[in-house]
């Protein structure tokens, strides 16, 4: 199958509608998955460890007839350290460099949120406290799509926030452990690693079992069962966003090496067949050169089949009127990853209101950000950058309001509160305020 990436023109009368259908992605609800997940969660909630043990032995095909107790799934710290020591030195150093840069960036995020207190003339004190969550769970997929970079990106912000207990779950299908993932856990400061996965792991983290303490929030990517389970336990615990397919939108003024842009589009498309890569450019000749680069470079890619399907089904090369229009379209798309590959990237970036992460200038390939620039690679997908943010330290903190009304303050505030409370028909509210007013 040859790649056939569609070419659009923003001046076409049906452009808006074509783009809209191209962007449309609705996660389908699979009733079989939903009912299976509901059953597993209920079972874990009521039977605890026994249920987790059974499901794990079965679904992950644990060898030698399965584990006989939950203790078999705990990975001790010395095993994590050994995994880190066992991987190639270049990988270990790269993980360490990435982790340190991620830590530095997220420390900067933490500095921004300190809480505040102010005192009014009558002595009333108002404020906001910021505190870390006590305990969080991090879901890490196992098997083929095992990403050590995700371990760093999910665990380090929690660590920086001051979370005391970081419990990582990672399934080990057929009992196979990924050493790079375990090494990343050692570097990131995960406090406990349990080799369980699926809806049963989400249930164990949400409700707690005899051996696994209930957490306050669960983050991290997973398959359809994990996503369904996270949706269902939301409210009992916090969750991060349920991610859709990954996307990149490249705005290019036609001055970047077309091979670079083609490879940037591939780097998104290779994730999976539903991933989306779109280029906006005002220069038709340049678009043709990118297309030529795509055809030239694609055969060199080990994941060319996935890339071909993704680009053919969901990709586009869009000729726009000018870079101003490209920015306006980018605001409608609200992309997860936005590359501004142009001579004066800041000029265009200033017009962007919605994007998960912006990669400015031709040296800022998305792949650098995915691994080691420092900002998080967990980003809002499917246009949710209109209202949500990258995963960050703030996701592992919460705020509490602090209200300390002085005796004098209660005299004036009490009258205002009572007036409004009576207006709403809430008389105990009014009386509670009035009791504090001196007669």
Count of alpha carbons within 13 angstroms of residue 284, beta-carbon side: 6
Residues with Cβ within 8 Å of residue 348, at least 6 apart in sequence? 251, 323, 326, 327, 340, 342
Is 419 annotated for ligand binding? no
Is 370 annotated for ligand binding? yes
Is 246 annotated for ligand binding? yes
Residues with Cβ within 8 Å of residue 224, at least 6 apart in sequence? 30, 33
User: b/e string for 181-219 if b means 16 or more Cβ within 10 A?
Assistant: bbbbbbbbebbbbbbbbbbbbbbbbbbbbebbeebbbbb
Determine the Cα–Cα distance for residues 223 and 43; give it in Å rounded to an integer. Answer: 20
Beta carbon nearer to its own copies, 70 or 269: 269
CB of 38 to its own copies, least distance (A): 10
CB of 242 to its own copies, least distance (A): 7
DSSP 314-337: H-EEEE-S-HHHHHHHHHHHT-SE
Beta carbon nearer to its own copies, 65 or 121: 121
The two three-digit tokens of residue 272, written as one number? 């999976």
Is 366 annotated for ligand binding? no
Q: Which residues pair with 232 in a beta bridge?
A: none
Nearest to 203 by CA among 236, 179, 175: 236
**Residue 74 CB burial class (10 angstroms; 0-12, 13-18, ≥19):** middle
CB of 167 to its own copies, least distance (A): 14
Beta carbon nearer to its own copies, 73 or 171: 171
Determine the Cα–Cα distance for residues 44 and 205; give it in Å rounded to an integer. Answer: 10
Is 377 annotated for ligand binding? no
Residues in the chain, how many? 439
Strand-strand pairing, 316-319 and 6-9: parallel
Active-site annotation holder among 247, 337, 339, 366: 337
In angstroms, what CA-CA distances link 95 with 89, 90, 100, 155, 263? 10, 9, 9, 13, 23
Is 271 annotated for ligand binding? yes
Determine the Cα–Cα distance for residues 202 and 49; give it in Å rounded to an integer. Answer: 13
Active-site annotation holder among 106, 247, 336, 366: 336
CB of 16 to its own copies, least distance (A): 14
User: Is 291 annotated in the active site?
Assistant: no
CB of 337 to its own copies, least distance (A): 10
Beta carbon nearer to its own copies, 70 or 146: 146
DSSP letter assigned to residue 302: T
Beta carbon nearer to its own copies, 257 or 322: 257
Residue with tokens 């995994």: 83
Beta carbon nearer to its own copies, 196 or 410: 410
Is 313 annotated for ligand binding? no
CB of 131 to its own copies, least distance (A): 6
CB of 345 to its own copies, least distance (A): 7
User: Is 79 annotated in the active site?
Assistant: no
Beta carbon nearer to its own copies, 61 or 399: 399
Is 139 annotated for ligand binding? yes
**Residue 90 CB burial class (10 angstroms; 0-12, 13-18, ≥19):** exposed
- Give binding residues for substrate as ranges: 246, 268, 271, 337, 370, 424, 429
- Give binding residues for Zn(2+) as ranges: 268, 271, 370, 429
- Give binding residues for NAD(+) as ranges: 139, 200, 223
Catalytic center residues: 336-337
């Amino acid at each position: 199958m040859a790649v056939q990436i569609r070419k659009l023109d923003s001046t076409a009368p049906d452009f808006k509608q074509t783009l809209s259908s191209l962007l449309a992605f609705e996660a389908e609800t699979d009733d079989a998955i939903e009912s299976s997940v509901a059953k597993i969660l209920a079972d874990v909630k009521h039977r605890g460890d026994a249920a987790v043990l059974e499901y794990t032995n079965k679904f992950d095909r644990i060898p030698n007839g399965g584990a006989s107790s939950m203790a078999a799934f705990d990975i001790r710290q010395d095993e994590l350290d050994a995994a880190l020591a066992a991987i190639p030195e270049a990988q270990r150093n790269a993980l360490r460099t990435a982790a340190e840069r991620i830590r530095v960036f997220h420390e900067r995020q933490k500095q921004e949120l300190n809480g505040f207190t102010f005192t009014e003339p009558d002595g009333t004190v108002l404020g906001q406290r910021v505190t870390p969550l006590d305990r969080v769970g991090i879901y890490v997929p196992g098997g083929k799509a095992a990403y050590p970079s995700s371990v760093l990106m999910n665990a380090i912000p929690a660590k920086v926030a001051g979370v005391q207990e970081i419990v990582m779950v990672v399934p080990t299908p057929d009992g196979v452990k990924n050493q790079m993932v375990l090494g990343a856990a050692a570097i990131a400061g995960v406090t406990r690693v349990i080799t369980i996965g699926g809806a049963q792991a989400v249930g164990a983290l949400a409700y707690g079992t005899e051996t696994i303490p209930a957490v306050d929030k669960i983050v991290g990517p997973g398959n359809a069962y994990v996503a369904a389970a996270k949706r269902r336990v939301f409210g009992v615990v916090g969750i991060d966003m349920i991610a859709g397919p990954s996307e990149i939108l490249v705005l290019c003024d036609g001055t970047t090496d077309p091979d670079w842009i083609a490879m940037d589009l591939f780097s998104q498309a290779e994730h999976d067949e539903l991933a989306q890569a779109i280029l906006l450019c005002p220069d038709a000749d340049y678009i043709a050169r990118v297309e030529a680069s795509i055809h030239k470079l694609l055969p060199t890619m080990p994941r060319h089949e996935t890339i071909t399907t993704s680009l053919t089904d969901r990709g586009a090369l869009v000729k726009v009127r000018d870079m101003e229009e490209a920015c306006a379209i980018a605001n409608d798309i609200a992309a997860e990853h936005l590359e501004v590959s142009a001579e004066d990237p800041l000029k265009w970036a200033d017009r962007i209101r919605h994007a998960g992460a912006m990669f400015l200038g031709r040296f800022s390939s998305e792949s650098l950000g995915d691994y080691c620039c420092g900002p998080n690679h967990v980003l809002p997908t499917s246009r949710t950058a209109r209202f949500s943010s990258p995963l960050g330290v703030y996701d592992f903190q919460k705020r509490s309001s602090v209200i300390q009304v002085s005796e004098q303050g209660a005299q004036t505030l009490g009258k205002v509160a009572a007036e409004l409370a009576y207006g709403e028909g809430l008389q105990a509210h009014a009386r509670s305020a009035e009791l504090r007013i001196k007669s």
